[in-house]
Structure 1
């Protein structure tokens, strides 16, 4: 019998009619022979309203414990109403909140931004499996946790997504369905560009990068808990049908540790294009990159300064790229010179944890400093760091970085 975990966001249960529509969708899946675990957020804007009330009432003189307890009321209310709605269709349901002896989500004691204790949570998830075996649909508060002292904790804004994927992992679920106010992952924000299209599929890696760069469809930490064989999709509440099409989240592509270190296997060359204040000249980057693309030369790294653009290309393409860019410099009044530099190596490190790890760059670069290794260039995003070093140092840097991060 298939087991699915369904998470309803705040907008999708924003009023009584929407809650009934959502409960009906859950009951339909249950009646088709599936086991269903429901995770609910607070009803639309409830958490914001509670925080505002606390701020006004206390002038921000409030402890983390007090604030966590107050804002937990949003999810606890949602769970009670949703379970009642399910039972109004004649199906047994039970709400599970941190005061329940069946509560599964155990965390550390960082009350307002807690980390899940996965081992303990997996043990306690047996309580949820027992309810499912009894034919009961559990409705579990998203966003909330409980530490080992029994204090209510929260998983940070958007933490209900984390709850859903953690439970799916611990229960060995077949599928996670995220029900939200959009029809899936879009090519861009449809509120900004009306022509945005829904994607049928997106990889875990792409979804994580979208989420860490501001897309609000899914909490980036949730994907840390997705197993490769777990089906997952994001759909709109408007369908009222959990089998409705949305965007499938595929992967991760391989079972691997959260930190991955890769070294580009061939030497690269550094090419620098200079010109007075070219950083402020519109179209310069487009001219450079499009000209190289025309000759099928790939750029593996690029950085800009006030008076320069630095490119990293495969060494075998370097002389050709140098000649092409020199022709561009001769023709373009905004550019003054181009040079080709030494051979370099590229090491990239990626982890979804980087966005929440202060000091990660210094942790990676400190061993290089101790070994007197010069960094030619370094670039970073919220989930990855790319380091360029002299080619002769590349293998050593690769091993140093792997050692310091415990990468695979």
Structure 2
């Protein structure tokens, strides 16, 4: 018998019929002798509907009241699922984030979990009751409702699994696992049986939308085995995300992630001296804009330099305005921007012990006459920025070049 936390996303609970289907899956797992905690998202489309309502009244809405409103989507789902389970003869009890006492900080709309009180859940589990918890939400020290950011139900599930020391956290979604890349771009993409926490974190940060980044961070920190499964396919083993082992290191590249939502900014002709990079990027950070790739180019025989960085495309206009102000303060030559870029990343812990990955990647792109604008590397990842119009071609040729459609022989 195991303690399992199951999380079902919005598409999995998108209608009463699908909620009934989820109830059947939960009951089937319970009949195998497992204790089950279920975390659910709002029904598909509901959070967007609530956001639109809030903005129709006041845009932007006050963050505290915004969280109070959009957290209600999950409350509907936990009630419906608990009712469905009870109707099928399975004891169930629903909990909002506040009722569980998922304590967060007070950063409304993007709160972080500080502590979880597991006493009530453990009591229910001991009585043979299925615990149904609203994902995406918690409360701060003052009792205010907070939300964890889009995709936060994944984080809720992993955090509960960590607090309860669950044997596995199962993330049910509309895909049957983690693939070598997006099958919609590369039809021969292959589902991975296993991937390491570190690889999944790099994939998520580079554009793979299967799991929220924070949920993977949480799982790695507390060593919670994660499994991505389909709500709609039976008997699929999905993909296990777990600590790396020796067999994983034999695989050169595990997957290709990409992100279309990037924009590039360059400030030309800034003084080449200590503190300038801080003056440029500090102003961007003060506006709560996250910077991804950063490249500084030193001009030969000159006391000036150029600084290029990427941001999310939604932040492009705001970042451009800030950078233009900074450019005037620094007497910079020019500010340039480009919204038509994309980022591609090769990810694999096998890179640690194998040479030549970067050169093969660059050669493959060069053969298709795809120009690389920026390059960034880590121990297990190589990222490049290219013109957005070449994105799908680049992903396809790289997937083929590294034989990712083939099952590796270990």
- Partner of 1:79: helix, strand, or coil? helix
Bigger Rg, which one: 1
Q: 1:236 — aligned with what?
A: 230
Q: 1:189 — aligned with what?
A: 182
1:171 to 146, 164, 180: 164
RMSD over aligned Cα, in angstroms? 2.9
Q: Alpha-carbon deviations, 1:1-22, whole Å to 9, x = none?
A: 3100000011111111111111
- Partner of 1:205: helix, strand, or coil? helix
Structure 1 residues 301-316: aligned runs within 5 Å = none
| Contact 1:12–1:179, Cα closer than 8 Å, also in 2 | yes
- The runs of 5 or more residues in structure 2 that have no matched partner are 247-353, 363-374, 384-410
Aligned-partner Cα distance in 1 for 2:104–2:111: 6
| Contact 1:106–1:145, Cα closer than 8 Å, also in 2 | yes
- Partner of 2:88: helix, strand, or coil? coil
Aligned-partner Cα distance in 1 for 2:135–2:209: 16
- The runs of 5 or more residues in structure 1 that have no matched partner are 255-296, 303-308, 310-377, 387-408
Q: 1:248 — aligned with what?
A: 240
- Per-residue deviation, 1:79: 0.8
Change (3 A) 1:380 1:65: farther
Q: Alpha-carbon deviations, 1:92-114, whole Å to 9, x = none?
A: 111101453xx131110001101
Aligned-partner Cα distance in 2 for 1:111–1:383: 34
- Per-residue deviation, 1:250: 2.0
Change (3 A) 1:87 1:148: same
1:33 aligns with 2:29: no
Q: 1:112 — aligned with what?
A: 109
- Per-residue deviation, 1:76: 0.8
Q: 1:298 — aligned with what?
A: 355
Q: Alpha-carbon deviations, 1:243-295, whole Å to 9, x = none?
A: 631111121569xxxxxxxxxxxxxxxxxxxxxxxxxxxxxxxxxxxxxxxxx
| Contact 2:67–2:108, Cα closer than 8 Å, also in 1 | yes
Structure 1 residues 8-407: aligned runs within 5 Å = 8-58=8-58, 60-100=59-99, 103-117=100-114, 120-121=115-116, 124-226=117-219, 230-239=224-233, 241=234, 244-251=236-243, 298=355, 379=376
Change (3 A) 1:195 1:51: same
Provide the aligned length of Structure 1 versus Structure 2.
Answer: 264
| Contact 2:170–2:227, Cα closer than 8 Å, also in 1 | yes
- Per-residue deviation, 1:204: 1.0
Q: Alpha-carbon deviations, 1:316-360, whole Å to 9, x = none?
A: xxxxxxxxxxxxxxxxxxxxxxxxxxxxxxxxxxxxxxxxxxxxx
Change (3 A) 1:22 1:381: same
| Contact 2:97–2:135, Cα closer than 8 Å, also in 1 | no
| Contact 1:3–1:35, Cα closer than 8 Å, also in 2 | yes
- Partner of 1:26: helix, strand, or coil? helix
Change (3 A) 1:301 1:216: closer
| Contact 2:358–2:382, Cα closer than 8 Å, also in 1 | no
| Contact 1:226–1:252, Cα closer than 8 Å, also in 2 | no
Change (3 A) 1:147 1:33: same
Aligned-partner Cα distance in 2 for 1:168–1:205: 19
Aligned-partner Cα distance in 2 for 1:98–1:166: 12
- Partner of 1:179: helix, strand, or coil? strand
- Partner of 2:57: helix, strand, or coil? helix
